[in-house]
Amino acid sequence: MKSPIRVAVTGAAGQIGYSLLFRIASGAMFGPDQPVILQLIEAPIEKALKALEGVAMELDDCAFPLLHGIVQTSDPAIGFKDANWCLLIGAKPRGPGMERADLLKDNGRIFTAQGKIIDEVAAADARVAVVGNPANTNCMIAASHAKRLPADRFTAMVRLDQNRAQSQLAKKAGVPLAAVQNIFIYGNHSPTMFPAFAQATIGGKPAPAVIPDLAWLQGSFCETVGKRGAAIIAARGASSAASAANALVDHVRSLVTPGAIHSVAVKSNGAYGFDANVWAGVPVRTTTPGSYEILTGHAMDDFAKSKLAATNKELTDERALVAELLG
């Protein structure tokens, strides 16, 4: 049996947390032979901490053999202590009438503090995955406050968008999901993201050859993927949770599986014309567990270039709005 790894999860009593923790503890994220210690972090609010107690009780009641311990805390210094993976889900939601700039700043303050404390107390091999929105910019802020951990340890999740795009293409083509490959998400986790359909393959053929409907690919496909979160809120009365948790399982599982090729928001370093200092969705290949290289060889046509420019502009605008919070 391997020795357990420590997995810190913020927002652990929230709706994504409730769909996520049981899958981590069952082995879906790190594999069936990897024990875990869950370090659950909640906001210092009585109701949230009480809910967290209930979640921990349910985790106990699952009797997962791989779950070697549960920490419950509202103190990030305890929650992130020696963590090998830090899954940052907790964030302030956008309230009625709240400006996006205020949301960026309020969350920026949370991720400033978390970036600092993770850098101080997490394990030397710590990896960070950000889900809390605005995920790309929150991730950039947290990374900017880390002096010990390099920037490439900080990733943000665009895997839900990739999964959504894969599913839409499979439905349209009338093929099983696994027939759709190489569909990658570029840019921000927001409606400006670009699901690069021209690079995707369906049954080994270019997607536009199998779906010869450019108007659909450029229009309704991109729009459905980009606005899927809002469509789910409209239908369900609550934001995507189970699919977001599932995507985080996929995000981390792919990052610990050498050879996996998948979409992750990482420090762009100028890839695909993104501003070098923003965190943008790009295709990566996992090299060794937890490490990756950006795949830079994909050609972009004029339509793709215009989409990339738009999502890059949104990321640089967000960066400008939080400039005072960057370390």
List, by residue number, the catalytic residues: 189
Alpha helices in the chain (DSSP H): 15-26, 46-62, 76-79, 100-121, 135-144, 159-173, 207-210, 214-216, 222-226, 228-236, 242-255, 302-321
Tell me whether residue 90 or residue 115 sits nearer to ligand NAX (CB atom). 90
Distance CA(288)–CA(116), nearest Å, equals 26
Q: Give the x/- contact pattern for ligand NAX in 201-240, rule: CB under 6 A.
A: ----------------------------x---------xx
Contacting residue, 5, 7, 8, 11, with ligand NAX by CB under 6 A: 11
Question: Which part of the chain contacts ligand NAX (CB under 6 A), choosing from 10-18, 65-73, 121-129, 273-281?
Answer: 10-18
The reply on whether position 133 binds ligand NAX by CB under 6 A is yes
Total of chain residues touching ligand NAX, rule CB under 6 A: 29
The reply on whether position 135 binds ligand NAX by CB under 6 A is yes
The reply on whether position 115 binds ligand NAX by CB under 6 A is no
C-beta neighbour count of 64 within 10 angstroms: 18
Q: Give the x/- contact pattern for ligand NAX in 68-107, rule: CB under 6 A.
A: ---------------------xxx-x--------------
Distance CA(73)–CA(269), nearest Å, equals 36
DSSP state of 221: I
Selection from 276, 269, 251, 273 nearest residue 128 by Cα: 251
Least gap, CB of 154 to ligand NAX (angstroms): 14
Which residue number is nearest to ligand NAX in terms of Cβ?
A: 14
The reply on whether position 300 binds ligand NAX by CB under 6 A is no
Contacts of 99 (CB under 8 A, 6+ apart): none
Report the b/e string of 291-316 with b at 16+ CB within 10 A: ebebbeebebeebbeebbeebbebbe
Binding residues vs ligand NAX (CB under 6 A): 10-11, 13-17, 41-43, 45, 48, 89-91, 93, 110, 131-133, 135, 157, 160, 189, 229, 239-241, 244
